[in-house]
Structure 1
């Protein structure tokens, strides 16, 4: 029994590890499926060889269908979806949402927009759908309605997702938030409300990672607005920023879109540069098998070559574009290509062929109810009939041309007025909101200021009480400390006075000894002179009068009385000789010339001369007194 339990636990552990590794592979696949075909295939192969449950098999087939979808293999993707449905087993709500989303996207890419929306609505009407999934599906429906030209319905779906975003701001993934802002941008862009479009677009910018595919799309969308508003320099700048990212990501679908859009911008300012980027768009779109971009790029190139009068090349390009649009049943592309061919035949004076394609274009223009296209149809028709010499029909279509053009101008004028009114209303509303916001902020600040004032007053009172208590203690301690310091200072002063008195006595004694010594030396000198004996030489006598040991003792006592005198004198006048220094010391002691003469064993007149020399050495003015100057040192 014990061994059986261990084996069971081991099997469960292996199964759990296998499921965990499959989930990791699934996450890796989702991260690279759009941009990295090779690594996506590696993860699919890993999943195929590690399928342990029916749910894993269903997930593997769904991932394989997504892989085919992103490579524009829609038939294969749809077939894999059906194969996955035949696998028996329970599915999770997340799996069902992923499957239905892919099914609707396949219908969208096949231009079956109504069918795609039906798939979405059937799924959402089930009720048991999370708000995040509902927001994501609404965005796909919004895209479909834009493609159908039903902009109000598209706006309704986009705003429904935006309402979820405002309620569930923290629960939605950044990718869903970005898609919501992008959808609102698209709605307002197609309604020609460019300020509102840019407003929602810029709200997505903080969510975008630098160098990512989403950041490239952000640049493309800004450039698209600048293209429409005829700011082609700015449009070209942003398209190139987006293309730099697309080229690094190697996503041929988005790259061919960007090349095409850049060609559209260059078409207005530099036809040769436009041709370069249209060619790049066609080449990249052929690699991605993206026929719609190929058709539009060929049609625009044909238009450029008509302007350049290269009619042979223009006809070849427009006919190829027409064949693509007819295979896709894309009426808008067919209409514009036929208009190009009608214009080409008109300029080459092939009037019958021109009339044939222009009447076909007129039928499509009336169906689409696009006034701009009708204006072009009527213009080319009246010019063709005029060239052919049928002035009656020429006049008829000229009248229709003028009437339709006036209607377009009135609509444009009304649109401009509506935009101005809308701008005024938005700005007025913003101003009112701003004023109300400022008023609320002022009230909040006032309330907060009053609360802060109360707290500050209370805190100040508490601090004041503590400060008074602390100050009282501090003053008491300071008074005691000052009394103690005064006592110590008085004791130190008495001690210093005692030491000073003792030093003065010793200094006086030393001075008397020096004087007695010098007197004795004088007597000896006199005896030598009288007896003319050289018992003591003059050098010996000089050394006796200038005995260093006695002066060291003398200076030591002086240092006690005047601690900084000797150092200050040497610092200020470093060039003094020993004799001059000793003279300065004796002057500092306030000795008379007589006392100095006795100590230095020289005449009084010599003392005065020595003082004059010292005064000059100290560089004193004539009016300055030597004794006063030395006394202040």
Structure 2
């Protein structure tokens, strides 16, 4: 897929060669030579065969890898399961199915940890780093590459350390942290040179050249690209040579040396054509189109651009077909797994139904015996319970009748007490009315006598009149009246003060007399005031109670 080249062609080639080495590849196998009855050795061979088909026939590779996984699980061959999961993770990564790729790599990691296979665990972590970068989680990608590096350092695996350095350096390059990128690539280069690993050295030289090209240090980048190509030629790595030539052509184009750029790219095109690498052929035509366009040869530029478009469409169609085939394989495998699970669940359900039915029949028989033996006892207990309930009902009924009778007696007594208090209140009221009437008459007569008396007698009579007035207003019998009133009309004064807090004692008395529904004349007589003064007092009380003009003071107080 095109995604493989997003990371850099040489970098991914190193990854593929490094990963496959862990599985010790063998010559191609035929499907007929693989039998599920064979042991772990045949499972490994099936995994290796799937690895050989990974790039050319990913759908077939997936089916073989999945078959190897099933065989390993059936044989309880843990290392075979781990290798199969890792191969599936690699395959799905290169086909862009990142979620399932990561799931398989995580399964492989778990199994490698159980087996303590740290060398393969390091390789697995580096692959997880690639997947995390592909799904745009660079921090997680860096974390996994660093964990792989720590494992390799612990094992003193120089090749693994160098490879991890290259991965980390490539990440820093993508983040444009060129100082760190060059630092890690230089570490990788030193190790590969010590190991005399030409392919690894060529890959790192190409990576360093790419960083320098990003920094626009073209001459230095060209030097590294040329070194990389020479090492690739020594290692007979044709694909790496093509990549290097394309990089050199890019440098010539960017520095304005178009003739050299065209010549170099043509060399890459010729080599790619001999190899039959359609992707590299397409890439070379695209570069030639740009280079001819810069020289003003638009006809040649157009021809190469059209060739690039045609090849690109064919590659895209091929990749799409491969992806569809892979997805179909994924679907088929998933469908088979679902069918197996359904059959297993159906079998479990059938067994459960048989057990349940057998147990149910036995249980029903036992329950029938128990119910039959206890039925009489249950009937007898129900009869006794009903008799007890009847007795309790009769006792409760008698108790409720007694309570009702006591309640009626208490209500009768309370009514009698209330009538007595009302009579007492009425008597008090009549007494006050009679007394005040007498005092009022006496006051009138004394006023008449004052007109003919001498000065000294006038003073005495006037003093007597004042004493009578005070007696009318302040008589202690008002206290007795209030006590009796509160017994009859409970909470009246409290409710009254809630309506108007700033009431005088005279206004409170007026309100209590209105509550007794007495006529205005009798109220004036009891209070010792005239009818006009009573009207004024009623008006003031009504105002304090915040009643509207049309509201009745008497109705308000009677309903209070």
For the aligned pair, the TM-score class normalised by the smaller chain equals 0.5 to 0.7
Report the Cα offset of residue 523 of structure 1.
6.5
- Which residue does 1:199 correspond to in 2? 100
Query: Which of 186, 190, 210 is matched with 2:90 structurally?
Result: 186
Matches within 5 A, 1:447-526: 486-519=404-437, 521-522=439-440, 525=443
- Which residue does 1:299 correspond to in 2? 206
CA distance in structure 1 between the aligned counterparts of 2:488 and 2:442, rounded to whole angstroms: 34
CA distance in structure 1 between the aligned counterparts of 2:213 and 2:235, rounded to whole angstroms: 25
Report the Cα offset of residue 502 of structure 1.
0.9
- Which residue does 2:460 correspond to in 1? 534
CA distance in structure 1 between the aligned counterparts of 2:287 and 2:430, rounded to whole angstroms: 139
CA distance in structure 2 between the aligned counterparts of 1:518 and 1:172, rounded to whole angstroms: 118
Per the normalisation by structure 1, the TM-score is: 0.51
Gap regions ≥5 residues in structure 1: 1-107, 119-124, 225-234, 267-272, 382-398, 442-468
Report the Cα offset of residue 551 of structure 1.
1.8
CA deviation vs aligned residue, 1:220-251 (integer Å, no higher than 9, x gap): 22534xxxxxxxxxx6x434542266468864
CA deviation vs aligned residue, 1:555-594 (integer Å, no higher than 9, x gap): 1111121112211122112232211221121121122234
- Which residue does 1:238 correspond to in 2? 137
Aligned 8 A contact 1:146 1:154 in 2? yes
Aligned 8 A contact 2:47 2:83 in 1? no
- Which residue does 1:459 correspond to in 2? none
Matches within 5 A, 1:288-437: 289=192, 292-299=199-206, 302=209, 312-322=219-229, 324-325=231-232, 330=237, 332-334=239-241, 336-337=243-244, 358=267, 362=271, 366=274, 370-373=277-280, 410=314, 413-417=317-321, 419-420=323-324
1:305 to 1:359, Cα distance in 2 relative to 1, 3 A = same
User: Which of 508-517 and 408-417 deviates more?
Assistant: 408-417
CA distance in structure 2 between the aligned counterparts of 1:152 and 1:509, rounded to whole angstroms: 116
Report the Cα offset of residue 419 of structure 1.
4.0
Alignment coverage as a number of residue pairs: 438
Query: Which of 512, 529, 534 is matched with 1:602 structurally?
Result: 529
1:187 to 1:594, Cα distance in 2 relative to 1, 3 A = closer
CA distance in structure 2 between the aligned counterparts of 1:609 and 1:240, rounded to whole angstroms: 92
User: Which of 214-223 and 371-380 deviates more?
Assistant: 371-380
Query: Which of 204, 218, 227 is matched with 2:128 structurally?
Result: 218
- Which residue does 1:286 correspond to in 2? 189
Partner-residue secondary structure (3-state), 1:194: coil
Partner-residue secondary structure (3-state), 2:137: helix
- Which residue does 2:482 correspond to in 1? 555
Aligned 8 A contact 1:184 1:200 in 2? yes
CA deviation vs aligned residue, 1:35-56 (integer Å, no higher than 9, x gap): xxxxxxxxxxxxxxxxxxxxxx
Aligned 8 A contact 1:588 1:630 in 2? yes
Aligned 8 A contact 1:597 1:604 in 2? yes
Report the Cα offset of residue 630 of structure 1.
2.0
Aligned 8 A contact 1:223 1:239 in 2? yes
CA distance in structure 2 between the aligned counterparts of 1:206 and 1:508, rounded to whole angstroms: 101
Report the Cα offset of residue 515 of structure 1.
3.6
Report the Cα offset of residue 294 of structure 1.
4.4
Query: Which of 54, 66, 69 is matched with 1:162 structurally?
Result: 69
CA distance in structure 2 between the aligned counterparts of 1:419 and 1:425, rounded to whole angstroms: 10
CA deviation vs aligned residue, 1:131-153 (integer Å, no higher than 9, x gap): 8x998x78985897479989689
- Which residue does 2:166 correspond to in 1? 256
Report the Cα offset of residue 544 of structure 1.
1.9
CA distance in structure 2 between the aligned counterparts of 1:613 and 1:606, rounded to whole angstroms: 11
1:567 to 1:330, Cα distance in 2 relative to 1, 3 A = same
Gap regions ≥5 residues in structure 2: 1-16, 28-34, 111-120, 151-160, 289-302, 346-385, 450-456
Partner-residue secondary structure (3-state), 1:163: helix
- Which residue does 1:42 correspond to in 2? none
CA deviation vs aligned residue, 1:573-627 (integer Å, no higher than 9, x gap): 2232211221121121122234324422334554455445544554545544333
- Which residue does 2:494 correspond to in 1? 567
Query: Which of 475, 499, 510 is matched with 1:583 structurally?
Result: 510
1:630 to 1:165, Cα distance in 2 relative to 1, 3 A = farther
Report the Cα offset of residue 505 of structure 1.
1.9
- Which residue does 1:92 correspond to in 2? none
Query: CA RMSD of the aligned region, Å?
Result: 6.1
Per the normalisation by structure 2, the TM-score is: 0.56
Matches within 5 A, 1:68-217: 141=48, 145=52, 155=62, 158-160=65-67, 162-163=69-70, 180-190=84-94, 193-195=95-97, 198-202=99-103, 217=127
CA distance in structure 2 between the aligned counterparts of 1:561 and 1:295, rounded to whole angstroms: 115
Report the Cα offset of residue 188 of structure 1.
3.8
CA distance in structure 2 between the aligned counterparts of 1:572 and 1:343, rounded to whole angstroms: 99
CA distance in structure 2 between the aligned counterparts of 1:370 and 1:339, rounded to whole angstroms: 14
1:157 to 1:312, Cα distance in 2 relative to 1, 3 A = same
1:593 to 1:206, Cα distance in 2 relative to 1, 3 A = farther
Report the Cα offset of residue 554 of structure 1.
0.9
Report the Cα offset of residue 260 of structure 1.
2.4
